[in-house]
Amino acid sequence: MSLHDAREELRYLLNRGYRKKAAVEFISNHYELTRDERNLLVRTTFSDEEGAERRTKALSPNALSGRRLLVDTYNVLITLEVVLEGDPLVCDDDVIRDDAGVFGAYEVSESTYAALEKLVEFVRRTSPAKVVFLIDKDVSHSGELASLIRSYEWPVDTDTVLSSSVDHDLKHTEGVVATGDSAILRVVDEYVDIPKYFLFSW
């Protein structure tokens, strides 16, 4: 058995209308997947319909000029770090994701600085009207990360917000969302996948 086989079978079930939670449980139990393997299965595998719908919402960087950009900060930073380290997940919906997630803990490291430099470059090249960094304040060291972001010289107006409801804020605030979180992408009308453009040498 390989994770590839599990993904193929899950995709088959999703394309036939099975609910994802039940399908993942069935496939994972059948192949005796570990918790990490189950997590990868969930993060990378989508039905053809969901993948196609998501592609219609994706904006090119050129479309950000003059727009308000809302950044799911932990999601984007961690995925950028993984891209820079050379081990991202290219998923069925063409969104780039990491294989880890935050789970309540994140520490500023050299990788953080490298990812932030890429974010500065992205903002400089795309010229949004404003960038709002939304940071989950319940994650450890979130205040430190917020202070670090504020210390950078950004080429446009920015705001750094510590929030206990980042997902809700991203879903219900006007602007283009930058995230790879599938729960958010299902709701918003448009989004930009920042790590993707660095992965493919944009």
β-pairing verdict for 157-163 and 89-90: unpaired
> Which pLDDT tens digit goes with each residue over 146-198?
999 999 999 999 999 999 999 999 999 999 999 999 999 999 999 999 999 99
41 part of a folded domain: yes
- What pLDDT was estimated at residue 126? 97
83 part of a folded domain: yes
Domain extent, residue 14, equals 3-45
The H or E element that residue 157 is part of is strand 157-163
Residue located via tokens 């969302």? 177
How far apart are alpha carbons 57 and 155 in whole angstroms?
26
> Which pLDDT tens digit goes with each residue over 17-49?
999 999 999 999 999 999 989 999 999 999 999
- What pLDDT was estimated at residue 101? 59
51 part of a folded domain: no
34 and 128 in one domain? no
Number of domains in the chain: 2
Q: Which of 187, 9, 7 is closest to 91 using CA atoms?
A: 7
**Residue 68 dihedral angles phi and psi, to the nearest 5°:** -90, 125
Is residue 111's pLDDT more than 90? yes
80 and 35 in one domain? no
**pTM (two decimals):** 0.92
β-pairing verdict for 130-136 and 96-97: unpaired
| Non-local CB neighbours of 53 within 8 Å, separated by 6+ positions | none
Question: Do 142 and 112 form a contact (C-beta atoms < 8 A)?
Answer: no
* pLDDT band, residue 201 (cuts 50/70/90): low
How far apart are alpha carbons 56 and 191 in whole angstroms?
10
117 and 27 in one domain? no
171 and 73 in one domain? yes
160 and 79 in one domain? yes
Here the CATH number for the domain that contains residue 162 is 3.40.50
